[in-house]
Structure 1
Amino acid sequence: MNNNTSLIWNIVLTLAVIVLYFLHFSGSNTGAAGTASDATGGRRIVYVQVDSLLRNYDYFEETQKELENKRFQLENELTNRGRSLENEIQFFQQKAQTMTLDQARATEAQLGKKQQDLIAYRDRSAQTLAQQEADKNSELYDLIYQYIEKYNKSNQYEYVLGYSKGGGILFADSTLNVTQKMIEGLNKEYKAKSGSATAAKDSADKK
């Protein structure tokens, strides 16, 4: 398999941090009084644990399973095609001495083309799968970003930080942690969208 088809979900962590990083609403009431848990130096700040968010976000989990199934199916298909071609080559090698020179050359050319076609198919499939993963990562980015904007309309935080082990934030007060609220809200929206999509599909199938 091409390395492009390996797990690309590490990119998601980077994307999520970018999404959550210093979301600032200009013109917000920077001097407005907040609770002791979310006010720091006159700024309203909260944070989200990125790893936990992704681990518990239903969209991320289901999408990862979907892509893993596609990778598994592609690997199996390539393995089966490769074995089939290998068997053909072995059969040709066994029968080559009984063929005329022209027959041997023609068969060898056919096998060479099959091998090239298989390599080209592998590369195309790997690129397609990599693009699908990139699209899903982008969609994940958008869903998180859009929800944070919606969430912040009622909370008016100046900064929503993305906290992850080994990241740029070395310490975060647990009272500023809104991860669970984000997870619940994201999963609620995803469940509603999934339900609407399923209902629409069922309605279309009945027609």
Structure 2
Amino acid sequence: MKNLSLALNAVLAVAVAVLYYLHFKGSDSAAAGTPAGSVGGKSIVYVNADSLLTHYDFFKDTQKAFEQKGTQLDLELNQKGATIQREIQVFQQRAGGMIAAEAQAKQLELQKKAADFENYRQKAANDLSTERAQQTEKLYDNIYNYIKKYNNDTKYQFVLGFQKGGGILFADTNLDVTQKLIDGLNKEYKETQPKTEEKKEEKK
């Protein structure tokens, strides 16, 4: 499926851009040693959404998996479609020498194959789209839940999402907590993955 990775990136980017404007109730100051700005006494930091997507391993793995699935589906559909097309061409070449009943039966058979192929194509595309939406929701949940957990200690009252072309035109880099979130999210994600040593033992 063409432009699958671009579509996935766009969907996830929008999800993350929407996510970051969060309001957390807590103390009016950030944890010691962690830079934070303030507006009206409210503690504020920001996250670079583009950078987070670029370096979050879950997103990278998900994007790679969908690219592979899209390529495999394209190949499968092209092969199935080419097979049906060849059958149609052969029928067109031989139709003149076939009796009417035989030609009609073959024509109905090919029509059914074409209809079945179109139904299969649509279902496969819908299934892939549904799975992509589920992974987008999981990405949203992963980031939201980590920020919420992270904020239990830092007590920021606003975690803003900075993105090129977004609503925030400038942000002081001293208030950037992107790398801390990337490190924490990747650590959590790594802990959910099967360990290499366990995989080696399973192969023995």
Q: Normalising to structure 2: TM-score of the pair?
A: 0.89
Q: Look up the equivalent residue of 1:54 and give its one-letter code.
A: L
Seen in structure 2, the aligned counterparts of structure 1 residues 150 and 33 have a Cα distance that, compared at 3 Å, is closer
Q: Look up the equivalent residue of 2:24 and give its one-letter code.
A: F
Seen in structure 2, the aligned counterparts of structure 1 residues 10 and 95 have a Cα distance that, compared at 3 Å, is same
Q: Structure 1 unaligned runs (5+)?
A: none
Q: Which moved more, 1:35-44 or 1:179-188?
A: 35-44
Q: What is the distance in 1 between the residues matched to 2:61 and 2:73? A: 19
Give the structure 1 partner of residue 96 of structure 2: 97
Q: What is the distance in 2 between the residues matched to 1:129 and 1:33? A: 43
* Secondary structure of the structure 2 residue equivalent to 1:189: helix
Displacement after TM superposition at 1:171 (Å) = 0.6
Seen in structure 2, the aligned counterparts of structure 1 residues 157 and 6 have a Cα distance that, compared at 3 Å, is closer
Give the structure 1 partner of residue 36 of structure 2: 38
1:29 matched to 2:27: yes
1:13 matched to 2:13: yes
Asked if the contact 1:24/1:159 (under 8 Å) is kept, the reply is yes
Q: Structure 2 unaligned runs (5+)?
A: none
Give the structure 2 partner of residue 111 of structure 1: 110
Q: Equivalent pairs: percent with the same residue?
A: 43
Q: What is the distance in 1 between the residues matched to 2:29 and 2:55? A: 34
Displacement after TM superposition at 1:17 (Å) = 1.8
Q: Look up the equivalent residue of 2:17 and give its one-letter code.
A: V
Seen in structure 2, the aligned counterparts of structure 1 residues 96 and 159 have a Cα distance that, compared at 3 Å, is same
Give the structure 1 partner of residue 136 of structure 2: 137
* Secondary structure of the structure 2 residue equivalent to 1:8: helix
* Secondary structure of the structure 2 residue equivalent to 1:170: coil
Q: Which moved more, 1:10-19 or 1:180-189?
A: 10-19
Seen in structure 2, the aligned counterparts of structure 1 residues 106 and 38 have a Cα distance that, compared at 3 Å, is same
Cα displacement string for residues 54-99 of structure 1 (whole angstroms, at most 9, x for unaligned residues): 0100000001110111111111111000100011011111111111
Q: Look up the equivalent residue of 2:19 and give its one-letter code.
A: V
Q: Look up the equivalent residue of 1:10 and give its one-letter code.
A: A
Q: Look up the equivalent residue of 1:148 and give its one-letter code.
A: I
Give the structure 2 partner of residue 184 of structure 1: 183
Asked if the contact 2:36/2:44 (under 8 Å) is kept, the reply is yes
Asked if the contact 1:5/1:130 (under 8 Å) is kept, the reply is no
Q: What is the distance in 2 between the residues matched to 1:173 and 1:181? A: 16
Q: How does 1:149-160 map to 2 (within 5 A)?
A: 149-160=148-159
Runs of 4+ in structure 1 deviating by more than 4 angstroms, as ranges, are 1-6, 31-36, 196-199
Q: Normalising to structure 1: TM-score of the pair?
A: 0.88
* Secondary structure of the structure 2 residue equivalent to 1:194: coil
Q: What is the distance in 2 between the residues matched to 1:60 and 1:113? A: 40
* Secondary structure of the structure 1 residue equivalent to 2:112: helix
Displacement after TM superposition at 1:31 (Å) = 6.1
